[in-house]
Structure 1
Amino acid sequence: MGDTLTSHSLSTQKREYPRVLTIAGSDSGGGAGIQADLKSIAAHGGYGMSAITALTAQNTRGVQQAFFPPAQFLSEQLEAISADIDIDAVKIGMLGTSEVITAVRSWLQKYRPPIVVLDPVMVATSGDSLAEEESVSELSSLFSYADVITPNAHEMAVLLGEDATEQWEVLCSQGQRLADRHEVAVLVKGGHCSGEWTSDALMMPGHSEPVWVGYAERVQVRTTHGTGCSFSAALATELARTGCWQTALERVKRWITGAIKNGEKLDVGGGNGPIDHFYHVHSVISEQSARLSDLDRYLLHAQEVDMVRLRESFSEYVWELSTSIREQVNSCPFVEGLGNGSLSQDAFIYYLDQDGLYLKEYSRALGQVGIAASDTESRMFFAHGAVEAVEVESELHRRWVSRFSDSAYVTGIPSATTEAYTDFLLARTGESYGVGAAAVLPCYWLYAEIGKNLYTAYQEYEGKHPYGEWLEAYSSEEFQTSAQQAVKFVNKIARIVPDYELICMKNAFLRACWLELRFFEEPISACHLPLRG
């Protein structure tokens, strides 16, 4: 299935921050249309632009009124954007009238962007009609300009002139006929079908079976307003950003499932509520707030320290203070699964991707520590560490990641957790040598301790351990020696810094340990949705 999908190329080059235009109607309730599209584009790292085709008075309960501005005004919006900004992708949604369709067709003939996703919006989630009857038949005139069209089950039936179905096999058959009839890719969406799982499928012209199928566990909620708009806008963004059908589809499938699942937390309206487009950001913010609150209390309590002991045996003292954090690291599912070989490949790939991104910034942090170092020996050690992080460890990551380059979990984009950790390191290593050295120490010391523990489990493993090569690298004598050298240099500077800086060193070490814990916890939570197909 994957090989079949990769044979269908996209006329685009990958762009990290794609510029995506949405041509659609406005939803005054904010859950669908232009408003949902712009949220979806932003949620996937794109820069959103909009050309409004209609104004609606609506909320979560339904559409009360729709107003269609003159089609000429739509043409002027499109011309203004196209004359100044290079558009990487366009999502076309609610058009509503024949005149509007004609205006969009004329614009596509003149400016067609590399990626065109057409969502033939006709019926809102509430059941209200969003298009004039005479315009429905004209929508097909735009299909030849599209890379993919994304009708729901009701819209599929209207486009084919058939009855709507809730049977997945029948829906896929309808999607294939629509794809063959118009020679365009069709994304079949099975949200209205029955069953424990929801399925989506991509049908390509000339194929008897889907070229991609995505599954997710069905979520029983009412927060489904704007799902079609949001999915298509996100897909346009990901296609432009990745240039890959499979990667884009799998990312959007996972995201839309999470957005639907978390929509109830927004508590918007009394009808079909909106999805939470930024649930991944909200969850990180909530988690960070809770964790930082706990950590701040922990650090405050830890202010009551024996300064003499802290100065004379810094590493021994902070190691004791970090006991509870280290115990959580050793018992977290990722670390345990890595040791006993039960860790899922998806979680390991996610970790590899994020750890490789982390190492790039960690190398910068080590470089800053080296520049600030107070003596030649420590300066050379941390400078060498910066080089090692880039050349040796990063090469190890590249070798592993190359084996899974087609995985949807290889994004090349740092998560909020990764950014929080690296931002902290770069900030602390810019303060002073002592604070910076204490901040980077857990990545040496914790990894060395974890490496030793995991290597013991690895040796007891019967058969070929799936992550054996990785465990050997971090349990090696060379890495263990580097960790002990880092401890030595931090102890050395701790004996001569002022009391205030010594406290800052302690706090930096403990906070870095805490961020290490969050980094190890993330791969499991990030990969909780199934990937099939």
Structure 2
Amino acid sequence: MKNILTIAGSDSCGGAGIQADLKAMSAQGVYGMSVITAITAQNTNGVFAVQEINLDIIKKQIEVLYEDIDISAVKVGMLSSSEIIKIVHETLKTVKAKNIVIDPVMISKSGYNLLKDEAVEELKKFLKIGTLITPNIPEAEILAEMKIETEDDMIVAARKIKAFGAKNVLVKGGHREDNCTDILLTEENTVIKFTGVRFETKNTHGTGCTLSSTIASYIGKGLSVEESVKLGKEYISEAIKNSFSIGGGVGPVGHFIDLYKKAGVDFE
């Protein structure tokens, strides 16, 4: 079994962040481990507070894992400040981390800023160690400093983000109204389009975390970036199709829908 690490924030609601990452990794048949960078107070209606973890503890979490365990890939999610980005960046280089998938988490679905404005430039520097960067359209607009409305815009933005030094960039199209095609710009500068089906549901909490963790899992298992994205897209589509409500707001996707069905859970 491959060991995959997630470095991200904790979601008290369980639908996104560390909790979604570990669920997604387990569903792909890998062993998930976590380095927590922040604790959030949130439910299905939104994020209400964030407390960052001490920098020394973040660094130590990474160090002790790499000292003891063979880690095949790492997914990086919420890094809320310049200081946290720097310590994660430096430590991952020190431990010679490989197969790094960076999901540049900036804003929650409820509109809460999960990345401080002054940290954007530091994030851009961090992207150069990424095997794959997975921004959604609002995140890509900030990183590329442009408006994205069409697939051509997504390709231009991907090229601008790749120029920061990342090997591959996946611009996710879920925020577009006309379609939800994702654009992958590969290390060889090839553009690959991944089309998808849009499901009529409000329950999409943790989709970005789930997708990036799934992709990291497959890259860690030795698959190519393109194949990993393809399988990740298939998994998140099925998870969104089988999403469900747990509160009054945005519910989680179905990470373990087969197990839930086997256990006799009825979401109707």
The verdict on a shared fold, with TM-score over 0.5 as the criterion, is yes
Equivalent residue for 2:118, pick from 116, 134, 143: 134
Post-superposition Cα deviations, 1:448-500, rounded to whole Å, max 9, x if no partner, equal xxxxxxxxxxxxxxxxxxxxxxxxxxxxxxxxxxxxxxxxxxxxxxxxxxxxx
1:38 aligns to 2:18 (yes or no): no
Q: Is the 8 A contact 1:179 1:204 kept in 2?
A: no
Q: Is the 8 A contact 1:120 1:150 kept in 2?
A: yes
Correspondent of 2:200 among 220, 223, 228? 220
Q: 2:216 aligns with which of 219, 233, 236?
A: 236
Q: How far 1:280 sits from its partner (Å)? A: 3.3
Matched, 1:178 2:158: no
Instruction: Find the aligned partners of 1:205 and 1:83 in 2 and give their Cα distance.
Output: 30
RMSD (Å) for aligned C-alpha atoms: 1.9
Give the counterpart of 1:169 among 152, 166, 191: 152
How far residue 285 of structure 1 moved from its aligned partner, in angstroms, is: 5.0
Amino acid at match of 2:231: R
Please tell me whether the aligned partners of residues 130 and 166 of structure 2 are also in contact (alpha carbons under 8 angstroms): no
1:77 partner amino acid: Q
Cross-structure match for 1:417: none
Alignment counterpart, residue 50 of structure 1, candidates 19, 34, 52:
34
Give the TM-score taking structure 1 as reference length. Answer: 0.48
- What letter corresponds to residue 46 of structure 1 in structure 2? V
* Partner residue, 1:378: none
| Structure richer in strand, relative to its length | 2
Corresponding position of 2:239: 259
For 1:198, the equivalent position in structure 2 comes to 180
Query: Which residue of 235, 241, 251 corresponds with 1:273?
Result: 251
CA contact (8 A) 2:132 2:166 kept: no
Inter-partner Cα distance in structure 1 for 2:96 and 2:104? 18
Residue in structure 2 matching 1:89, options 52, 68, 73: 73
State the alpha-carbon separation in 1 of the partners of residues 197 and 262 from structure 2.
22
Would the aligned equivalents of 2:125 and 2:164 in 1 still touch at CA under 8 Å?
Answer: no
The yes-or-no answer on 1:189 pairing with 2:172 is yes
CA displacement at 1:173 relative to structure 2: 2.1
Q: Which residue of 2 aligns with 1:480?
A: none
Change (3 A) 1:83 1:183: closer
CA distance in 2, matches of 1:111, 1:278: 32
1:284 deviates by 4.9
Following superposition, the deviation at residue 167 of structure 1 comes to 2.6
Deviations 1:131-181 (A, max 9, x none): 111112101121221101001111111112223x34333222211222234
Distance 1:161 1:242 in 2: 34
Alpha-carbon distance between aligned partners in 2 of 1:181 and 1:50, rounded to the nearest angstrom: 26
Larger Rg computed on CA atoms: 1
**Offset at 1:82?**
1.4
Q: Distance in 1 between matches of 2:154 and 2:258?
A: 31
- Who is 2:9 aligned against? 25
Distance 1:169 1:284 in 2: 43
Separation in 2, partners of 1:116, 1:63: 27
Given that residues 112 and 145 in structure 1 are in contact (C-alpha distance below 8 angstroms), is that contact kept between their aligned partners in structure 2?
Answer: no
Per-residue CA deviation, residues 176-233 of structure 1 (Å, 9 max, x unaligned), is: 22223435311010001122x42112113563x51x2222211111111111111101
Give me the whole-angstrom Cα distance separating, in 2, the residues matched to 1:20 and 1:33.
Answer: 15
Change (3 A) 1:183 1:67: closer
1:73 is matched with which residue: 57, 72, 77? 57
Give the Cα separation in 1 of the matches to 2:107 and 2:25: 22
CA contact (8 A) 1:176 1:204 kept: no
- Shift of residue 249, structure 1, vs aligned partner: 1.6
Q: State whether residues 125 and 226 of structure 1, in contact with CA within 8 Å, keep that contact through their aligned partners in structure 2.
A: no
User: Following the alignment from structure 2 to structure 1, what is the Cα–Cα distance between the partners of residues 60 and 166?
Assistant: 30
- Equivalent position SS for 1:66: strand
1:286–1:176 CA distance, 2 compared to 1 (3 A)? farther
Q: CA deviation at 1:97?
A: 1.1
For residue 115 of structure 2, give the secondary structure of its aligned residue in structure 1: coil
Does the residue aligned with 1:143 lie in a helix, a strand or coil?
Answer: helix
Partner SS for 1:258: helix
Superposed, which structure 2 residues align to 1:139-158 within 5 Å?
Answer: 139-158=123-142
Deviation at 1:274, TM superposition (A): 1.0
**What per-residue deviation string (whole Å, max 9, x for no partner) do you get for residues 379-430 of structure 1?**
xxxxxxxxxxxxxxxxxxxxxxxxxxxxxxxxxxxxxxxxxxxxxxxxxxxx
The 3-state SS of whatever aligns with 2:221 is: helix
Matches within 5 A, 1:444-463: none
Aligned residue number for residue 87 of structure 2: 103
Structure 1 Cα separation of the partners of residues 181 and 11 of structure 2: 27
Residues 75 and 107 of structure 1 are in contact (CA less than 8 Å); yes or no, is this contact kept in structure 2? yes
2: CA distance between counterparts of 1:181 and 1:103?
19
The alpha-carbon distance between structure 1 residues 86 and 181, as it changes in their structure 2 partners (threshold 3 A), is closer
Shift of 1:242: 3.6
Instruction: For 1:418-433, list aligned pairs within 5 A.
Output: none
Q: Which amino acid letter does the alignment assign opposite residue 200 of structure 1? A: D
1:180 partner amino acid: A
* Contact 2:133 2:166 (8 Å CA) reproduced: no
Q: How far apart in 2 are the matches of 1:75 and 1:117?
A: 18
- Going from structure 1 to structure 2, the CA distance change for 1:183 and 1:88 (only over 3 Å counts) comes to closer
Percent of aligned pairs sharing the same letter: 38
- Larger relative contact order (Cα-Cα within 8 Å, sequence gap ≥ 6): 2
